[in-house]
Amino acid sequence: MPDLEADYVVVGAGSAGSVVAARLSEDPGCKVILLEAGTTQSSFLNDIPAMNLQFVAGPKTDWMYPGEPDPTSNGRAQTWHAGKMMGGGGGLNGLVYIRGLKRDYDDWAAAGCTGWGWDDVTPFFRQVENFEPGGQGSLGTSGPLSITTQDHPHILSEAFVAACAAVGLPTLADHNGGSREGAFIGLTNQKNGQRCSAAKAYLTPAKGRANLRIIRGAEAKSLGFEGLRARSVRLASGQVVRARREIIVSAGALQSPVLLLRSGIGPAEDLRALGIEVVADSPEVGANLQDHIAAGGRRFVNVPTFNSEANLVGGLKHLYKYLTARQGAFASPAVQAMGWARSREGLDGPDLQLSFQPFAGMNLATRPRKFMPEPCVSLGFTVARPFARGRVSLRDAGGRVAINFPLLGDERDMASVVGGLRLVDRIFAAEPLAGYVTPDEPYLGKSDEELAAFARQIVGLGIHTVGTCRMGGDDRSVTDTALRVRGVEGLRVIDASIMPRVPSANTNAASMMIGEKGAAAIRQAA
Ligand SMILES: Cc1cc2nc3c(=O)[nH]c(=O)nc-3n(C[C@H](O)[C@H](O)[C@H](O)COP(=O)(O)OP(=O)(O)OC[C@H]3O[C@@H](n4cnc5c(N)ncnc54)[C@H](O)[C@@H]3O)c2cc1C
């Protein structure tokens, strides 16, 4: 194939990159090429919400980066999941739609990201959103991404929300308005019971545009520069794709920094040690790695749950429900009910995000998927504002990656986990949930030390990876607040990697918001 050229070349058709490519190509006067390493795309079968279980940890659709052994969690190594398909993480994620808290974004602005406070980002969230039922004042109603309520959640998800009220967490009517503590049945980005990823919402309608070319199976290996100006993307196939105006890296928080490092943008000493020619000395590329720290508990219950119905009869029942009414297990987002809570006294806001699932006992690593036959539920939580910071770095010039992340290296995170475990027991023991669960209090009677030791055995990742190309107003930040990579020209990073701090919520909505805001910055500069 001859070399290709466009005004803008976008690397990565994930949650942010799909938005960027679609928005830029709205201008018929410019040509856009979108490069995606994955090959899988939207289809009726793929877009059944529960089908994401086929794609998570699937070799063709999940990058599954191996993490390094973590001494703070008993030497266990985590697998870092990341979508490798059209829609990226949004192509296989749990379909929970949630923005986060007002203070998350106000903290970004306070940290030097002028123009990224709650009031600044809200219009860009609204630009993404098409909240079909209407009536939750803060959500947009005319954007491309369909968002809907769960009209028939599992009875135990509703019992969870009521039990939260019983322990002092009010039921929130509009949890996307920047609120604080409380619990709620979550929203989901679906249309007619089908997954609505950024690829589906933004790219499907844009596919017919003569000025947009989408190339699947196109893995970017490095960027080429003329002086300090980014000019081209070299693919694994050897092909070169040239950009007349700008290159936009939207390869996600694990790959975007790697692409910069391989191209000579990163800590100069480290790059030289690997024999990579330095284009720009940028000490924080790959640093500031964040994810939510996840833990929780589960209980056996006295009513059927999705896992106990994962058999022939239950499967047919749920398939019927799905095909006739778009309800039941096949239509369910991964998490039905959620909440924000404080793990302990003396905090100035919630430090935990709660996630209730009407199933439990599934191991992502096993294939075919196996479920526990007994009915059970899980109440997970994540440390919503973690202090843990890690790093993505190169092992060698060929691009092999090392991911170091000390999950429980900060005592403030450990205190949140310990308090969170006790809160799990308190919520399970509160009515009306208590009436369904087999009584048990594994955490409440234990000392902090015992719970800390237990936490080291069980904590995992929330799969909300961000922060590795930190945006900021300071010289050390990787991008400025218009998401331009410092030290070079014609290059932006627009995806979850620019978040200076992970929001207190799942990160898909924020990634799409970043896509909208980044595309607006490019168009304004053009
Ligand atoms: C299993 C899972 C479940 C999740 N559940 C939820 C949820 O329910 N709700 C929620 O809000 N968030 C969820 N998240 C997080 C959310 O999906 C991500 O935060 C979001 O998708 C990040 O968007 P992004 O644009 O930064 O990167 P991504 O969406 O990951 O997009 C990056 C894209 O770039 C491509 N790419 C990478 N490297 C290259 C390369 N070298 N060349 C070409 N293309 C490349 C990738 O294949 C991918 O398509 C989940 C994530 C995962 C993995």
pLDDT at 363 over 90: no
The model's pLDDT over 331-343, given as tens digits with 9 standing for 90+, comes to 999 899 999 999 9
Measured in Å, residue 83 CA sits from the centre of ligand 1 at 5
3-state percent breakdown (helix, strand, coil) of the chain, nearest 5: 30, 25, 45
Dihedral (Cα; 105, 511, 147, 506), 10-degree rounding: -70
Q: Whose CA is closest to 490, among 107, 227, 291, 236?
A: 227
Pocket test for ligand 1, best of 464, 471, 483 (most atoms within 8 A of CB): 464
The model's pLDDT over 124-169, given as tens digits with 9 standing for 90+, comes to 999 999 998 876 778 999 999 999 999 899 999 999 999 999 999 9
Report the nearest atom of ligand 1 relative to the CA of 251. 34
Measured in Å, residue 189 CA sits from the centre of ligand 1 at 15
Highest mean pLDDT among 21-30, 305-314, 327-336 belongs to: 21-30
Mean pLDDT to the nearest integer, 103-121: 97
Determine contact, residues 207/214, Cβ cutoff 8 Å.
yes
Pocket test for ligand 1, best of 23, 35, 36 (most atoms within 8 A of CB): 36
The dihedrals phi and psi of 65, each to the nearest 5 degrees, come to -75, 130
Q: Residue 79: helix, strand or coil by DSSP?
A: strand
Q: Mean pLDDT score of the chain, rounded to an integer? A: 95
How many whole angstroms from its chain centre is CA 126?
18
Query: Is ligand 1 within 6 A of the CB of residue 186?
Result: no
pLDDT at 364 over 70: no
CB contact set of 288 (below 8 Å; sequence gap of 6+): 389, 467, 468, 470, 500
The model's pLDDT over 370-393, given as tens digits with 9 standing for 90+, comes to 788 899 999 999 999 999 999 999
Measured in Å, residue 12 CA sits from the centre of ligand 1 at 9
In the chain, residues under CATH classification 3.30.410.40 are: 151-185+293-385+408-458
Residue nearest (by alpha carbon) to ligand 1 atom 9: 96
In the chain, residues under CATH classification 3.50.50.60 are: 1-144+192-289+391-403+466-526
pLDDT at 249 over 60: yes
Determine contact, residues 444/419, Cβ cutoff 8 Å.
no
Mean pLDDT to the nearest integer, 395-399: 85
Q: What CA–CA distance (Å, rounded) separates 187 from 202?
A: 19
What pLDDT is recorded for position 42?
86
Query: Is ligand 1 within 6 A of the CB of residue 513?
Result: no
Query: Is ligand 1 within 6 A of the CB of residue 259?
Result: yes
Q: Residue 336: helix, strand or coil by DSSP?
A: coil
Confidence of residue 237 (pLDDT cuts 50, 70, 90): very high
What CATH number has the domain spanning 1-144+192-289+391-403+466-526? 3.50.50.60
Q: Whose CA is closest to 181, among 262, 103, 263?
A: 103
Q: What CA–CA distance (Å, rounded) separates 85 from 63?
A: 10
Q: Is 464 a catalytic residue?
A: yes
Pocket test for ligand 1, best of 506, 512, 517 (most atoms within 8 A of CB): 506
The domain 151-185+293-385+408-458 is placed in CATH, from the list 3.30.410.40, 3.40.30.10, 3.10.150.10, 3.40.50.300, at 3.30.410.40
Residue nearest (by alpha carbon) to ligand 1 atom 2: 93
Measured in Å, residue 369 CA sits from the centre of ligand 1 at 22
pLDDT at 108 over 60: yes
Q: Which is the catalytic residue, given 81, 292, 318, 464? A: 464
Query: Is ligand 1 within 6 A of the CB of residue 350?
Result: no
